[in-house]
Amino acid sequence: MNRMLGAVAAVLVACLASGACAAESAERLFPAAPGLCSYTFRSQFAKDVPGTLDVVKAMGITDMEFSNLFGMTAAELRRLLDDRGMVCSSYGVGYDVAVGKTDEVARNAVALGAKYVRVASIPHKAPFTVERAQEAAAEFNRVGRLLREQHGLSFCYHNHGYEFVQHGDGTLFDVLMAETNPEDVGIELDILWAHFPGADPAALVDRYGSRVKLMHLKDLKLGVKGDFSGRTDPENDVVLGTGQIDMPAVLRAAKRAGVAHYYIEDESTASPAQVPRSLVYLKSLPK
């Protein structure tokens, strides 16, 4: 893990020296450091949780979204975070766990210190249908209400691409949102999984406004064509600002909407080198 920390430091120094942070304005489009989704460093966390947290902290990141406890209890992970002045603001779980073990999920989220619980996908047989969207919406309303009323937690659904197939005058994502109670079901917008099936992430943020509580920051390799499968090669995740997504437009919309937490999620094997470059990019954006 010391080798990884050294590599991260070297990338940061190189990026800074290259002039990537040359903009001098005191006010930035993205003024605060984003958080990090644990899936970005899943391989590293699986081997060494404390050491990987040290690497993340060295990047200037203190806000985490954990979607795996990596063999620890929530209380044990919380202690490691507290020791480093870090927080877990969002706890991600699978659909079946959220629906079938809601109280357990809530206990873990509270132990971690998280405010949000999110589900990142809806199990289904392709293609995703309006009936399945409606079934999931009913479950989300129930889970979200329980988390809010009994545990003081906010529930969010994370889009995964297949929801953007056309339905009527909108999409099945719109059906999910129309059939869920905004008080109980918010949105964690994954901007790659909005762009990939052809939606406009910035327009989605403008449409749903304050309902977008959380955001996954990621970018899609140039030349990659999307579809409604909800799948692409992880190596198609690239450094923010080098891919297809209009990041400034998305971030301006997110600022208008008051998004509470942003998390870099880079699924590629190059994430240890790419995340520092993404951080430099975000800090370089002028207002």
HEC profile for 35-46? EEEHHHHHHHHH
pLDDT for the residue 256: 96
Q: Map tokens 């507290």 to a residue.
A: 82
Q: What angle do CA 111, 257, 88 make, to 5 degrees?
A: 15
pLDDT for the residue 30: 82
pLDDT for the residue 8: 56
Tokens at 204, concatenated: 């989605």
pLDDT for the residue 32: 82
pLDDT for the residue 65: 98
Nearest CA-CA partner of 140 in 121, 112, 125? 121
Q: Would you identify the CATH topology of the domain 2-15+33-284?
A: TIM Barrel (3.20.20)
pLDDT for the residue 243: 98
Domain boundaries, the chain: 2-15+33-284
240 within 8 A of 217, measured Cβ to Cβ:
yes
pLDDT for the residue 267: 98
pLDDT for the residue 33: 86
What is the spatial distance between Cα 258 and Cα 267, in angstroms, rounded to a whole number? 26
Q: Distance of CA 245 to CAs 8, 94, 152, 281, Å?
A: 25, 27, 34, 13
Residues forming a β-bridge with 90: 65, 116
Say which amino acid occupies 72. M
Q: 3-state DSSP call for residue 238?
A: strand
124 within 8 A of 161, measured Cβ to Cβ:
no
What is the spatial distance between Cα 257 and Cα 207, in angstroms, rounded to a whole number? 9
What is the spatial distance between Cα 4 and Cα 2, in angstroms, rounded to a whole number? 5
Low-confidence ranges of the chain (pLDDT < 70): 1-27
Q: Is the alpha carbon torsion for 192, 81, 116, 256 positive or negative?
A: negative
What is the spatial distance between Cα 126 and Cα 252, in angstroms, rounded to a whole number? 34
Q: Which residues of 268-284 are buried (b: 16+ CB within 10 A; e: fewer)?
A: beebbbbbbbbbbbbbb
277 within 8 A of 79, measured Cβ to Cβ:
no
Residues listed for the chain: 287
